[in-house]
Amino acid sequence: MKTVKVILSPEAEEVYNYLNKESVKSKTEKTIFNGINKKVELIKQNIHYGNPISKKLIPKEYKEKYSITNLFRVELPNHWRMLYSLTDGETKIEIIAFILDFIDHPNYNKKFGYKKR
């Protein structure tokens, strides 16, 4: 069985640290932060836990910046989303779940080009 290592992008790490800091004084941020931690554990148990996103819908910025070829979405509390990609690790016994972003719903819609009705 391959081990699963979770790595955060700089953008995801910035949001994660912000939520961690604010979770002490904000119930909303605490809910999202705890949701992230629970979902990360689920991804470690099942790397395909998230919903796969069609290759043609992967935002250009992710393809260019990180050279990803797959993308998964996980729903978080308060309509937030976690986006991650899977890659092989440095060894053949490791899989990397690379978390690209934690974003709220309006920014998720904007990133994927969805428009309001």
Question: For residue range 98-114, what is the model confidence (pLDDT) as tens digits?
Answer: 999 999 999 998 988 88
Q: Residue 117: what pLDDT?
A: 61
Domains of the chain: 3-111 (3.30.2310.20)
| Between 2 and 10, residue with greater pLDDT | 10
Question: Which residue's structure tokens are 């309006």?
Answer: 106
Question: For residue range 43-102, what is the model confidence (pLDDT) as tens digits?
Answer: 999 999 999 999 999 999 999 999 999 999 999 999 999 999 998 777 777 888 999 999
Give me the residues paired with residue 103 across strands.
81
In sign, the C-alpha dihedral spanning 42, 46, 49, 53 is positive
- pTM listed for this prediction: 0.90
Q: Residue 2: what pLDDT?
A: 76
Burial, 92: exposed, middle or buried (Cβ in 10 Å; 0-12, 13-18, 19+)? exposed
| Between 3 and 89, residue with greater pLDDT | 3
CB 81 within 8 A of CB 74: yes
